[in-house]
Amino acid sequence: MSALLPALPLLLLLGGAACALLARLGPQLARWAALLSLLLAGLLLAALGLSFELGALQSSAAPGFAWRWEMAWIPRLGISLQLGLDGLALLLCGLTLLLGLLAVLASWGEIHERVGLYHLCLLWHLAGVLGVFLALDLFLFFVCWEAMLVPMALLIALWGHRGLGGRSPAYAAIKFFLFTQASGLLMLAAFAGLAWQHWLATGSWSFDYFALRELVPDPAWGRWLMLGLFVAFAVKLPALGGHAWLPDAHSQAPTAGSIILAGVLLKTGAYGLLRFALPLFPQESAWLAPWAMALGVGGILYGASLALAQSDIKRFVAYTSISHMGFVLLGCYALQASALQGVVALLLAHGLATGALFWLCGALYARLHSRDLARMGGLAPRLPRLASAWVFFGLASLGLPGLGNFVGEILVLVGSFAVAPLAAVVAATGMVLAAVYGLRLISGVLHGPPRELGPADMADLRGAEVGGLLLLGLLLLALGLYPQPVFELADSAVTQALAAGGAP
């Protein structure tokens, strides 16, 4: 089964190339090829997941990783093609493929130009994301991290919403690329520094995750190397201060681009903190923890406050993402088991709920040709299915008990309170602000006097939209009512990250 790991990103790479070729025969063929590629990758991941317990029993060299695959690449520098699948990677890869499928469905009636190239960029971006979640060689991780940037920048620049949000798609794409590229170079410098530290200690270079996890870096260098990783992942999260690329990218991106940005791409930053920053630098992470938690609390309040000031519904949802990711940063550096389990639950719930909200934003724009909240209202009687979905996912985003977001946020607050009561109490006000902005988003679109009627024959949500949103809603409900399977799958990754704090 381990030999099947490289087939996951490879299927999407080949599927993207097939989309570009088949589009010459007709755009529908490209769309179906994209769906088929994602379905095949999903079936393969399901097969690996169903055999997860068997693989875990057979894995002794890497506890927690059910399946590992490795092939030599640049032996002189200790670089290999090494992939691994543990519970955390399984959950995030599943989220990636699910939202990828829904992104293709959301693009079906929206993208009519260069359809083949569009789906090539979409699938190649998702292939890079899968590589990020699977890579166990630090240099390979960096390559996959860089590989996912260009396709997303092209999606924003070539198929973005021109004339909306006050900026051009090209501006938003360049801003996104520069922020993430600059932070990626910091990450590469930190990885190279770790490999150099390994050479000083053993006489050989290595970018192997497991070898570097056993390394104790020189204290004079450790904090600088850790800060390089922290900044790189914090920008992608994004944390307060590195967030400036996000609102423009969301407001200009096509609907599928926003779904993937919010639902998948932000998760790579949190994954980097959980997989690399905390386990590779336990002492340094404990030193940084108070400052990182303060930054997380600042992001919670800043994102929620700015969301209330938005009239563009996509920028509105984008700023709520900054607030939710503040909870993720707070939970990561609380260095408590319950907080880290809450982080994993919140990553999944945020991906499902915010991905759905961006899909609904696209559906509203397709019907009203406007994203201005001030021009909406009174849509509930005319679009009952869309209104029901908008209410459900709006309530999920504000943290309604019984849904996944509540589970994640409450565990983060409980775990944080054990080590930093003041930070947890201040962060809890973010849930109050979430109730305010969530209800404003719901009432502004659906209730009150109609201000933007749209065409007389405006259609409600159709079959594919209803089916996709229903699936996301059921998953959010399952995560909110019975999150234990998620906690069990993520347990090994949480245990490794807890080395930074030594907490139970």
Query: Which pLDDT tens digit goes with each residue over 324-336?
Result: 999 999 999 999 9
The three-class DSSP label of residue 475 is: helix
Distance CA 73, CA 409 (A): 41
pLDDT of the residue at 220: 82
For 79-90, the pLDDT digits (tens) are 999 999 999 999
First to last CA, the chain: 33
Domain boundaries, the chain: 2-500
Sort 464 into a burial class: Cβ within 10 Å, 0-12 / 13-18 / 19+.
middle
For residue 308 the two structure tokens come to: 């209330």
> What is the residue-wise DSSP string for 191-233?
HHHHHHHHHHHHSS---BHHHHHT----HHHHHHHHHHHHHHH
Instruction: Answer whether residue 60 shows pLDDT above 80.
Output: no
Please report the pLDDT score of residue 498 as a whole number. 85
> Tens digits of per-residue pLDDT, 27-53?
999 999 999 999 999 999 999 988 776
Mean pLDDT within 481-495: 91
**Mean pLDDT across the stretch 6-32?**
95
Residue 6: the pLDDT is 94
Tokens of 399: 């943290």
- How large a percentage of the chain has pLDDT more than 90? 69
| pLDDT 10s digits, 357-407 | 999 999 999 888 888 888 888 888 888 999 999 999 999 998 999 999 999
Question: Is 333 within 8 Å of 446 (Cβ atoms)?
Answer: no
pLDDT over 90 at 166, yes or no: no
241 or 125, higher pLDDT: 125
Cα–Cα distance list, 300 to 114, 131, 237 (Å) = 39, 29, 13
> Looking at residue 295, what is its pLDDT?
95
- pLDDT band for 57, please (50, 70, 90 cuts): very low
Q: How many residues comprise the chain?
A: 504
Average pLDDT, integer, range 5-28: 95
pLDDT band at 58 (very low <50, low <70, confident <90, very high): very low
| pLDDT at res. 370 | 85
